[in-house]
Each structure stands twice: as C-alpha cells, then as structure tokens.
Amino acid sequence: MDREHGEHLTRTTERGSFCVALCSCGWKGPARRSRDRARTDAQEHETAPGAAA
C-alpha cells in the first residue's frame, strides 16, 4: 500500500532536546525527551484501529 492509498509513513525528528513522531497523514505525536517513546508513539499510530482510513 502506498501513501495515496492510505499508508501511514511515520518518522521521528528532533526539535531541540525533544523528539517528535510525525506521519505522512499529518498526525504529530507529543514532544518526548525519550527517542524510544517517540518511536513507540509512531508505531502505535501506524497500528491504531482506523489508522489505515
């Protein structure tokens, strides 16, 4: 599945001392000090019910 068919492509980015998960659908996770927690936020978003809508 590709982006135009609803795939959620997530990534993380650093903003100062914080890390944020971002998605191709426009979703943005909360700023985290833990990179691991930001990656977990991204994974949870990808697999959330309704995320492929």
pTM recorded for the entire structure: 0.78
- Please, which pLDDT band fits residue 48 given cuts at 50, 70 and 90? confident
Q: Return the pLDDT at 1.
A: 39
Structure-model confidence comparison of residues 47 and 41, the more confident one: 41
Rounded distance between C-alpha atoms, residue 48 and residue 44, angstroms? 6
Per-residue pLDDT tens for 11-46? 999 999 999 999 999 999 999 999 999 999 999 999
